[in-house]
Amino acid sequence: MLTILFFILLISIFLKVFGIAIKAAWGVTKIVGTVIMIPLFLVLLVVFGFISVAFPILLVIGAIVLIKSIVVAL
């Protein structure tokens, strides 16, 4: 009886820890995508001559960040 209770609680704890790990991994993925991938993508667009594409993307991202910072400050 105690063995069954032990395994039920063990599985419960494992699932909770697994959920926390998935959330942490998703957070790291968002940070890497934001800090490394977007600037690298924009630089590569400029290097390969697609500045007409990179500049509007940069403006849109800049506007979104500006609006977010204003909303958070309120």
pLDDT tens readout for residues 8-66: 999 999 999 999 999 889 888 888 888 888 889 989 998 998 989 899 999 999 999 89
Are 30 and 38 contacting, i.e. CB atoms less than 8 angstroms apart? no
Cβ contact 51:45 at 8 Å: yes
Residue 45's nearest CA partner among 61, 56, 34 is: 56
pTM value is 0.57
How far apart are alpha carbons 29 and 61 in whole angstroms?
18
Domain limits, the chain: 2-73
